[in-house]
Amino acid sequence: MKKNKIFIACDNSNINQIKKIIKHTKPYNLIPKFGLQFFYSKNGRKFLENYKSEFMLDIKASDIPQTISSALHSIKDLKKIKYITVMASVGLKGLKVFQKQALKINKSIIVCGVTILTSLDNKSLREIGYKDSVEKLVLKQAALIKKAGLKGIVASGSEAKIIRKKYKNLFILTPGIRLPGDKANDQSRILTPKAALQAGASAIVLGRSIHSGKIKQNIKRLINHLR
């Protein structure tokens, strides 16, 4: 799986469970993605201080420019952050400020602007108050992310193809990935790993499909699926 960049979602507050996930997935070059549940946990922050390999910090920063910039300053000691996320909805100024501050942590960091969450669909957007479809909103946010100078974007596999067609060099990270036959759970817009990569995703995020049940067996399922 070396040619495919795959992230493993470590969204858990149980430090022993996280260590188990990393132990079983690291030999296959799966990159850990630490979400808010782990980062906010009692031992999460300390674990990341001492983590020696590159990882993604999926904080989905969303606030006014000054606040998200200050938040990044408070984690400047986490030198191994290679990827970090910010909501595209913070606007152009917020994205630019976040990018500038993130580069002070790691000069090669890839800031990924998060578009419409994969748990949302067109009905959900109408309930919130948006009139545009998911696809139209994601394209607008992609343009904003590109204008701000970010290298990455987080979007579902459903939008990966249209984003790739318009932005050839953008790093497209696709969550909401499930192995064939697995339940969607709280996701609305999902694809299989192979379908997402074929659609244009640069990388994918897998969570429950890998660490629910026997991790080694699930990794074998993934390997067979990608062949």
Catalytic annotation, residues: 60
Contact 133, 121 (CB under 8 A): no
Joined together, the tokens standing for residue 133 give 């479809």
Q: Alpha helices, DSSP H only, in the chain?
A: 15-25, 36-39, 44-49, 65-73, 91-102, 122-128, 134-148, 157-166, 193-199, 208-211, 215-226
The helix/strand/coil state of 65 is helix
Contact 145, 158 (CB under 8 A): no
Burial class (CB in 10 A: 0-12, 13-18, 19+), 3: exposed
CA angle (28, 207, 136) in 5-degree steps: 115
